Structure 1
Amino acid sequence: MARTETNRSGEMEVFVRVVEQGGFSSAARISRMTPSAVSKLIARLEKRLGVRLINRSTRVLQLTSEGCVFYERAARILADIADAERNAGAGEKPKGRIRLNTSASYATHILAPILPEFLEHFPGVTVDLIQTDTIVDLIAERTDVAVRAGPMKSSSLVARKLGDTRMVIVGAPTYFARFGTPETLAELGHHRRLGLSYIRTIDGWPFKDGRETIVVPVAGRVQASDGEALRQLALGGAGLVRLAAFTVREDIASGRLCPVLEQLNPCDTEAFHAVHIGHGGPLPSRVRVLLDFLAEKGRVSSET
């Protein structure tokens, strides 16, 4: 009996469309299939993989944890296939405008030093740089690429990891001269701890205490909307701040800022990703070259 070959990329494409369109009917219209055919294809895919990808118990499409993982990988594979096809027939140089959304810290310490090189390599490309630590809706804000810190949640976004950075608590010598240097958590309680004005994954500063992790709340008279503002406040002696290591590396090396309580640092890290809208057609060459450039030149590290 002849064996029927499985069109795996075709299955992935339909599955990705189901996720990004939020249902079988919308994906069926785009794929020029019937909803019944899409449903059967997803069922065959789940049977072949041996896992459930989508829960069908409610009217709202819900991915299982396995479905989330498969979606992220499938979207990336489809983007790579499209990229390979573009490269095979590439003849036109990238051109056009890119809207790039990133934090002030990443823009200042990573992007600014390397962006001139990117613009020199691709003279037909222009960049609109929007700086904010707030998570934005890429579609609503007409954003091509966003650089985000923290864990990536399941979504229609495709992410390329730019590395990890550890966190460090620092203060200026002028601050320590006035208020002393904290050496224990009890002493830290009497110090000005400046934080961000928006909600973080962990609401406070974590410390390791034996086998336990203790979270100390922020307690300062000033809060800021981005990490670079906190850095400037620390440099001015306004208080202690907890920031990504790459943002204060030069300050520590020059003595402008000094790390404290490193013996209690849990060595937690924060991941950085360059994200863009998920698979739904060819990725513009102007966006592709920026993503490749950031993956090579725009990486962060945990070194201080």
Structure 2
Amino acid sequence: MARVQMDRSGEMEVFVRVVREGGFSAAARTLDLTPSAVSKLVARLEARLGARLLTRTTRALTLTDEGRGYLQAAERALRALDDADQAVGSGTVRGRLVINASVPFGTHVLAPALPAFLARHPDLTIDLSLTDDVVNLLAQKADLAFRVGTLPDSALVARKLGQSRRVICAAPDYLARHGTPRTPADLAQHNCLGFNFRRSRVGWPFREDGREVEVQVAGTLLVNNGETLRQMALAGIGLARLSHWHVVDAIGRGDLVPVLEAYNPGDLETVNAVYVGGGQVPRRVRAFIDHMVDVVAAAPLFVGG
């Protein structure tokens, strides 16, 4: 029978940390080890595997082909070990939770919900990235993502948190200079700000004379995330169509003014938590989803979780 090697997971963790932190010294600081100790552990790992994992220069560390393959396998193994510990643990939520969210939802809903969750789970580290791009959870090594809008078909598991209607709005200064649109047709004379990525609808929908119509709009600015679009509307550049939860505070302060509400079709934008299915869902993922379900349910701007 092969000899049991008791220290393999420790070597894996050190190697993964070196790659994540970009060097031996940075990894040593996070592991409370000396740089020489980290270097020796990586060298011992390479000797055991019989392969060079890292190419070292005075300026940088570069993964070899063998190193890239081992990194992916090591991250999967460490995550499985963490999941196994949590599956039989005392109920403590621990480890590293990698989250991806859209910029608006992450800024206005998710981030304010983090302090209370971290206070309840001090053994957990959250790694949060905000982008309106739809990321590949496996490629980005993310545990969980929060996505707003229609979900593409995929193997991911989705849990609906809530829905919110959309609203067209503009700054009072813009409306003072260009007038307030009274009908959807008036938008042809207005600067309608939009997104530079593909959406399920190209135009803006309205309900007019009892039927839904879609009006093609155009403007001088396209952006890649809703938060920038909101900021540009606040700056008086033009009209923007955004989720109600995203602009309700600005509307309440009078910084933005809703327009064409009589033609609002009432379409709802859904917020979902998505994660990779199959097997045991890690306790840290389940706990954070449950936390966000409660956060969204308590917000009057969302409906139908």
2:188/2:217 contact within 8 Å kept: no
* Residue 177 (structure 1) shift: 1.0
Paired residue for 2:293, among 295, 299, 302?
Answer: 295
Partner of 2:234: 235
Partner of 2:107: 108
- Root-mean-square deviation (Å): 2.0
Q: Is structure 2 residue 283 aligned with structure 1 residue 285?
A: yes
Residue-by-residue CA offset, 1:276-301 (whole Å, 9 max, x unaligned): 0011x222221121111111114565
Separation (CA, whole Å) in 2 of partners of 1:292 and 1:167: 25
1:103/1:132 contact within 8 Å kept: yes
Separation (CA, whole Å) in 2 of partners of 1:164 and 1:105: 14
Report matched runs for 1:1-304 at 5 Å: 90-279=89-278, 281-299=279-297, 302=301
Aligned-residue identity in percent: 43
1:157/1:275 contact within 8 Å kept: yes
1:198/1:225 contact within 8 Å kept: yes
2:276 aligned partner, one-letter code? I
1:162/1:272 contact within 8 Å kept: yes
**Number of aligned residue pairs:** 218
* Residue 151 (structure 1) shift: 2.6
Partner of 2:77: none
Separation (CA, whole Å) in 1 of partners of 2:121 and 2:301: 30
TM-score (norm 1): 0.68
Separation (CA, whole Å) in 1 of partners of 2:302 and 2:281: 33
Rg larger in 1 or in 2?
A: 2
Residue-by-residue CA offset, 1:199-243 (whole Å, 9 max, x unaligned): 111111101112332212231111110001000000000100000
Instruction: Tell me which stretches of 4 or more aligned residues in structure 1 moved more than 4 Å.
Output: 299-304
**SS of equivalent to 1:218:** coil
Separation (CA, whole Å) in 2 of partners of 1:154 and 1:303: 24
Q: Which runs of 5+ in 1 are unaligned?
A: 1-82
1:114/1:298 contact within 8 Å kept: no
* Residue 90 (structure 1) shift: 4.5
TM-score (norm 2): 0.68
2:181 aligned partner, one-letter code? P
Q: Which runs of 5+ in 2 are unaligned?
A: 1-82
